[in-house]
Each structure stands twice: as structure tokens, then as C-alpha cells.
Structure 1
Amino acid sequence: MSVNTVKGQGAVQNIHNHFERNRYQKSIYDDDFEEQVAKTEFLEVFPKTIVNPVKSPDLRMAYSMNPYQGCEHGCAYCFARPTHEYWGYSAGVDFERKIMVKKNAPQLLEQFFTKRGYKPEPILLSGNTDCYQPIERKLEITRKILQVFLEYRHPVDILTKNALVTRDMDILVKLAQKNLVTVSLSIPTTNEELRRKLEPRTSSVNTKLKALETLSQNGVPTNVMIAPIIPGLNSMEILQNVKIMADKGAQSFGYTLVRLNDAVEPVFIDWLNEHYPDRKEKVLNHIASMHGGKLGEKSVAKRKKGEGNIAEMIHNTFKVGRQKYFAGRELSLLALDHFDGTKGEQLKLF
């Protein structure tokens, strides 16, 4: 059985969790596996906190929060896959099919805002897994979180691959009117065939582009992450994609070079074997050439810049695109002076 027969499947198998002593793997090619992966489990968890300090220099935010752990979108390259191992699951199929939901996230966020002495800083929603993955349509945890941001007039940056973000346009417009929100849409490719394989349960390319246009037309500041760039797969699209994002109203864009750290490496290699066996060696060799002969790079400075001719070509192409299509465009810093930490106490009076 091919992975293509399993709707929305990204990973080919459950790779070994290196925290576990015993090794148990079941491939999609096993007879009874289709039934197993056809269903996604949603497991409610009860964290005591929801806002996390951001220690990575890659991100400009002081804090991030994730209402979901694991992600249905199924992106083979996702850097967050290894975090599922800390929960006792695999970074492979489990990451896409065992989703932990934090229904108490809005209440925890409000508790964070009402801490004595708290000074507002933009919070990234999400920093790890997508806050608008498919189950959000039913649970509306992210929508409730945005209502808390609005009530307290607190700045928030949203990062998502899902056009579902436009469902909450009523809240986003009100936040934008006070310069309290930016929305970053992750659009690594405008090739729909590649999108269906690379990130199988995200919104289609046309739907993402429509969402970008709709957000921009409604005055919501937008950024696009054209990321990750995978040489041999989407690297040839760079200039045309930068132009498309500008035409759809994006105020800025960012990008990253793909890196296959830890458990991401075997997941991505399996994915290449399944979908692009003829390009596998070329793609992997190109990735390694950007990271000193390795598929992954943990040094922040090195992984952002990369090395070698391919990395230089990517940077130069984006530089040309920025000068040609984004000259004079930039996102403003979000406002910090609207925050009202007493809002929670006021609400209790009613």
C-alpha cells in the first residue's frame, strides 16, 4: 500500500523514539496499518502554564504559546516533530495522528496577563505547532485565545499554514485597528502538486493566497514565510513566489533554509523515498552542502546563513526579490501601550 492511499498522511512510518528503550515500528505497508492511521486521536491535556519564554534567537518574540501539541498538517520537514518524543510518542505518524489539545489555554493566558508586575511583550501564536490546524474548526481554542488578547489589548503575532485564520476576521480587524496583531502565513510553495505531498493537510495554495489577500484588504498586517527552502524541490520558485506574495498584499516576507535535525531526518528521507525517489540523492546532497556536509545544523548563526554555492544562490535570489517587489514595505512594531492588566478584575465585577 502506498502512502498516497492514506488521506493526509505525511510521515511514512512511526520512527523510533530515542527516549524509549524498546523499539516498535509499524510501517504503512503493513496490512492493518491503514485502519490505524485513518483516525486521528485528540487527547486533552491540562498544562499549568501556556505561555513560554522564547530562547531561540531565530524568533523576535519574547514569548510563544501553543494550544495544540502535534499537528495534523503532516509536513514532512516540520522542525517540531522531535518535541512529540518528550510526550512518549513518535515523531513520525504519531506527530500527525495523536494531537494533544489544551482547552484551558484561554484561562491560562488570562492568568498570565494578570500576574503582578507583568509587562507586555508580543506573544507568538504559535511557536511550535499550528494554532489553526483542522481540529481548531471544531474546538475554537485559538478563537477564544484571540478574544482574551483583544479584551486585554495585548499584542499577538500569529503564524499559520491554514486559511482558517480568516474565520476570526472580526477579532483580527479589531486588534489591527489598535496595531495589536500581525498574521504570518506559511507558504513554502505555489506549486499545488508539491503542496499536496509536502504539507498534505494544509490549505490549498489558492486558498492560502486568497486568505492573504483577504487579510490584507481588511487592514490586517500580513507577512509571508516562504519557508523552508528545499533545494531541488521549491528553490526554483523563489522569485515568482516573492512577486505573488507582493501582489496579494503582503507587507513583508521571511524565509529559512531547510534543516533536518534529529528525528526530522529519517521522516524526511522516508518521505523523499515515497514521493521523489528520483530526486532523493540530489535533494539530500544539496541540503548537506548548505550545512557543512550534514543534513541538520543546530548553530543558530550557521543554520540561518548556511554555506556554499546553493545557500548563497538562495540568499541572493531573495535579495533581488526584496529589492524588486518589497521595496518600501515593512511591518510596524506592535503596540505595547494599550495593554490593560486590570481587565480581568473588571470583568469579575460583572
Structure 2
Amino acid sequence: MYPKRKVAPAPVPTKQVKQMQAKHSKLVKYQRNKDQSSYIHEACDCPPLSSLHKRARQEPHETHCSDEERGEQYPSDVLSAEHIVPATLYLKHSLHSALEYLLPHSRALSILLLHVSQCEHALLKQEQPSSYKRFHSHPPAGFLEQLLVNVRRVIRDDDQLLIHQDIGAALVLPEVDQRGAQVLLERIYNSISLLQAETVIPPLTRETHIVLGCGTLPEQGATIEQLLYHTGLVAREIVFRPAITTQFLAQASMAKDVCAEPETEELPVPGSIAGVPFMALPTQVPVRLRQLIPHQLAVKMRCAPVGRDHHALTIAMVNPLDHETVQRLQALTGMTIFPVSCTEKDLDTLLANKW
């Protein structure tokens, strides 16, 4: 049996943290009473975990720490948002409280940080028909708890897990060195990866990002701020992409309505559809993809497999917005389907070569 670990007492929330928790609780209640397909999620503006992080978009005067505070190890770190694991104010406060209690009694200490957000694509009406702006929002209520079910399968019962409902979590591991933390990080990553966008409840309708960070004392620094710096760097990332979503269809419809041109004007690329990736097809289906969809079925459904990435299959279609066909392909192959548009001529040429 493993010895029982020392666990820090629950932190007392500050006034600012209480206000943030109250705001989030109201959001969760509202979200649960709204239809998932019509609800616009709250934008994710969670800050970096450490004051040593400096986002690339910030000017030097916007960073609230001096070069002396940053130390010689961090003289000019400029990180983009993609390299940082954000954390809510509540999680930062909880971690500081736990560390202040545990560090004097621990020879080694590790932290694993998890943050969840959803990537949405907003159509830029003033730009080209296919121009989109990506922004991140908080995930649906209950999604994080489903992730944590898989996380708890690979950690000890007495491991201290700090949770901010529906946004993120931190795992505090006293007496765990860098090697042990890395092993646990891989286990958590593999356990979460077993989930799929279509198997969670309700099924995901937006691209969802789970980022994981890992930091250890004393291997990665001697202070709390240096520990939080390394913990707040992305070590692993998992992306769940739904096959085809109501949001995707709505955006494509919006693009069609907003960017409609006179009938006499030709599209920039024949066969392309606004908001849908376009692909110029090869003359033959790659050998490794031929067994996934029989030729006879491909001819009947007017589609062809053109790419694969693990459990994701890219399918070329003249009408990639045919939701019924996409769902049928997904059921037949057991894979996530990513439809792309193509010209009817290219598809006919490809289907003419039997496999």
C-alpha cells in the first residue's frame, strides 16, 4: 500500500475569487437551461498561471514583473497563447495556498495542470467569404467532470485534485519527482485520449482543446513562481473534433447568405463552398485507404477517401454539407469524418479508376 499523502487544507477564497465563482455558477445554471445548439459560450479569458509568462501579443510595459523577478533563467521569454496553459484566478489562488502549506514539508513536489476550452470560428463579414476568426470559449457544463472520470482512473485516491467547475483542474503531488510526474502525465494523456467527441454527453459540437502542463520542484526551479512557470507551459494537447456539427452547418449557411454574389459572377474556385475546405483530387485513391470504403459504395454515395489521421478520415464530396451522407459514412467506417469539397469532374475522374 502507498503511504497516505499530506494534503493541503482547502484555501479560503478571497472576495475577488468569490465574485468570479458566483459569476461562473450563474453561467452554468443558465447554460443548463438553454439548448446546447443555440447557447453562445462565455469567452475564455483565463490568464497565464505565472507572472513569469509573457504573451507575444503584450508590450513590455504590460508585463507586471521586473527582469530581476524573472531571474536569469527567464531573461526574454515571449510565449504565444498556444504555448501556455491558462488557469482561472480561483485555481491560481488554490495552488498558491496548497504550495505554501506543502513546500516546507516536501523534498519534491509536482503539479499537473489541465485546462479545457472550445475553439469557435466566427465569420468575418468584411473579409473574404472563407475568412474566419478563431476564438476560445468555455466548454459545456459537465464536460470537465467527464474528463476527470478518466483522470481519476490513473491517479491515487488520496491525490489532491483542485477543480474549477467546467474550466480546469490542478493535481498537486507532494514527494513526486520529475520522472514520476512525467509518467503520470502520460497516463492521464492516454486516458483522456480514449474519449471521443461523439461519446461524451452531450456530444461535442465544437472543436475542443484540452491542454496539460507539468512542473516539478526542485528540478525545474527553487521558487513557487518558477514551479508555476513550468507548470503553465503546454506539455501535451488533445483536440476533439466533431465529425460535422450544427454550428458548422450554420456557419456555412451564414457564409452563403452574407457572401452571395450575382449569378453571373463565377466562384474563385469551381466546386468550392464558402467555409468548407476545398481539395484538388488525385487521379487514384491511395492504397492504404481503399479498404475503408469499397469502390461500389463510393460511386453510389458520390464520395472518395483522400486522407486519414488515426481515427479521422477525410472524404472528398461534391456536396460536403450533405449531413445524412456524412453520418452514414461515419456509421459504416466507425471513424470521424471530415468532408472536403471538390469539383464534380475531379471526383468522376477519381471514381473512374476502380479499386
- TM-score normalized with structure 1 length: 0.24
Structure scoring higher RCO (CA < 8 A, sep ≥ 6) equals: 1
Please state which structure has a larger fraction of its residues in helix. 1
Give the greater-gyration-radius structure (CA). Answer: 2
More strand by share: 2
Q: TM-score, normalising length from structure 2?
A: 0.24
